[in-house]
Structure 1
Amino acid sequence: MELSAIQSKIHEIRGCRVMLDFDLAEMYGVETKNLNLSVKRNARRFPFDFMFQLTEEEWHSLRLQIETSKRGGRRYMPYAFTEQGVAMLSGLLNSNIAIEININIMRAFVAVRRFIMSPPVNEVKQLQDEVKELKGYIEEVFADYNDMNEDTRLQLDLINEALAELQMKNRQVNRTRNPVGYVRPEE
């Protein structure tokens, strides 16, 4: 099984990276109920920090993320196995396929841990450069906007002055005009 396929089955629950019982059963080629039965028979090997059962809220939230259907359903909430729990499973399922799958799962957990722990220096630098570039662009746009506002304000002031002058001339013209129509001669 490919490393990326295994990594896609690693989930973050309660601050731990875990794999669910049905994903592990599928990889190992056994039924989920048989895997869980083997775990129950060897319960002392699986303390709480190796394996825990999901709550209904956790399962509902996770089911939305991994897009599983309710069809068929489960009687019990799934079990989540931490990296140590998966390693302990390899001792229970003693077949060549189980050993090979377990090695790949351990590699996937290590790859996820490395990815999370190693700071992506190049990506951070690239993001910083992009942020600086965007900041410069935004400042430039605001400067142009402010210049445009100043130009627009000056033009509006000129238009208002011209309108005021036209109104004054219009008032003066209206005062000096003779009335229109028949005017009676004064007697």
Structure 2
Amino acid sequence: MSDLIINENLLASKIYYIRKQKVMLDRDLATLYGVETKVLKQSVKRHAKRFPVDFMFEMSSDEFKNWRSQFVTSNSDLMGLRYAPYCFTEQGVAMLSSILNSETAIEINIQIIRLFTKLRQLLNDETDLKIDVEQIKRKLEYHDKNIELVFKYLDELIEKRNVNQPRKTIGYKSDEL
């Protein structure tokens, strides 16, 4: 294999969040694999059984309009944007390597799968961090309540002390009194 390496930031910028899933679009994958979008779509259609809806779906017309409005494109820059793109989940991207059997597709797929795995790990780490922060908040809240209680008791003691009650003298007694 040639050592074809794509920048992780470039790959990450090609991952979108659609229908509460991280997906990559057919046109971006086609570019990365060095094939035309049309060729990629045809290959997917020929092997449709390999791509259930949790592997790949086509954007709805509303999703497509919304997605296109986020990217200002001229008519000359439509580059396959006349039709709603296919959206590939992590499993769909992995499945693409079985139908696009070029060296480039295999190498790019490996990098993409590693990036998805890395993103999943980051999400897990972030979730663990959120749990830790929540536990710390709960402890601090508990400590705050205890500190409030201590200050309340101190205030009560100070009030009792300030009440002018004759105090019993302590110390040595002399006969001169």
- The bucket for the TM-score relative to the shorter chain is 0.5 to 0.7
Q: Which has the larger radius of gyration?
A: 1
1:1-150 matches, within 5 Å, as 1-65=6-70, 67-72=71-76, 73=78, 74-119=81-126, 121=129
Aligned-partner residue type, residue 78 of structure 1: P
Change (3 A) 1:121 1:48: closer
**C-alpha distance in structure 2 between counterparts of 1:97 and 1:85, whole Å:** 17
Aligned-partner residue type, residue 79 of structure 1: Y
Question: What's the CA shift string for 1:121-161, capped at 9, x where partnerless?
Answer: 49x96xx9xxxxxxxxxxxxxxxxxxxxxxxxxxxxxxxxx
**C-alpha distance in structure 2 between counterparts of 1:115 and 1:25, whole Å:** 27
Change (3 A) 1:68 1:115: farther
TM superposition shift of 1:44: 0.5
**C-alpha distance in structure 2 between counterparts of 1:58 and 1:50, whole Å:** 18
**C-alpha distance in structure 1 between counterparts of 2:115 and 2:75, whole Å:** 30
Q: What RMSD in Å do the two structures reach over aligned CA positions?
A: 2.3
Aligned-partner residue type, residue 103 of structure 1: I
Unaligned runs of 5+ in 2: 1-5, 137-177
Instruction: Work out the number of aligned pairs and report it.
Output: 126
TM superposition shift of 1:96: 1.1
The ranges of structure 1 where at least 4 consecutive aligned residues each deviate by more than 6 angstroms after the TM superposition are none
Identity of aligned residues (%): 49
Aligned-partner residue type, residue 38 of structure 2: K
Relative to its length, the structure with more helix (as a share) is 1
TM-score of the two chains, using structure 1 as the length reference: 0.61
